[in-house]
Amino acid sequence: MRIVAGTWRGRSLKSPSWDGLRLTPDRLRETLFNILGPSIQDARVLDGYAGTGAIGLEALSRGAAHVTFIEKDPRAAKLIETNLAALGGSPSKPVIIRAGLPEAAGRLAGAVFDVIILDPPYAHGAVPDALAAVESLAAENTRIVVEHAARHAPPDAHGRLRRTRTVTAGDSALSFYGR
């Protein structure tokens, strides 16, 4: 696993030494950030279900102003810290919240993000729960992206959020939402 582009391009990231953490492949991350394009520059990014932190670290490498990582597994949160330290840290002082997404979103009440990227478990029904947790953190122009199993169709809408696009890559898909 490596950083695909930006300041840290080509730098390797440590992977988990335990089962149960699904990694977002480099190619899918590259597709995600190609679609997001320049909107990541100077953005406030939320990396929900952060795992290794690869998504948020990729955002920082590509010029995000700030990243908040949310990860409830203490081993994965430590892995994010390890990967960040190996890359030399970030001037924006990223935040790692060790909690589940709903609890973390409650702690972040009042905060607003430009880009919210979620990678919930590939279980049926996980996407609506993830969208419900972050809806209050989305402003009018916030872009929300949810990685999910291609076999589980995401909802067209959830609350004030509307799906604008879905891109499928093998067994995975990226669905984009906005207000």
Q: What is the domain count for the chain? A: 1
Q: Are strands 161-169 and 113-118 parallel, antiparallel or unpaired?
A: unpaired
Which residues constitute the domain of residue 111? 26-178
Specify if 20 maps to a domain. Answer: no
* Cα 148 from Cα 34, distance rounded (Å): 18
pLDDT digits (tens, 9 = 90+) for 113-169: 999 999 998 777 889 999 999 999 999 999 999 999 888 889 999 999 999 999 998
Q: Is residue 10 in a domain?
A: no
Residues of the chain above pLDDT 90, percent: 66
Q: Distance between CA 175 and CA 57 in Å, rounded?
A: 20
* CA–CA distance, 15 with 59 (Å, rounded to integer): 18
Q: Is residue 31 part of a domain?
A: yes
Please indicate, yes or no, if residue 112 is contained in any of the structural domains: yes
pLDDT at position 16, please? 73
Q: What is the mean pLDDT of residues 175-179?
A: 94
Q: What are phi and psi of 79, to 5 degrees?
A: -65, -40
Question: Does 85 reside within a domain?
Answer: yes
153: amino acid identity, one letter: A
Q: Work out the average pLDDT over 30-48.
A: 95
Residue 172 domain flag: yes
The answer as to whether 3 is a domain residue is: no
Cβ proximity of 132 and 159 under 8 Å: yes
What CATH number has the domain bearing residue 92? Answer: 3.40.50.150
Q: Is the pLDDT of residue 69 over 90?
A: yes
169 lies in some domain: yes
Let me know: does 32 contact 117? Beta carbons within 8 Å. yes
Q: How confident is the model at residue 45, as a pLDDT?
A: 97
* Predicted model pTM: 0.93
Q: Are 33 and 55 in contact (CB under 8 A)?
A: no
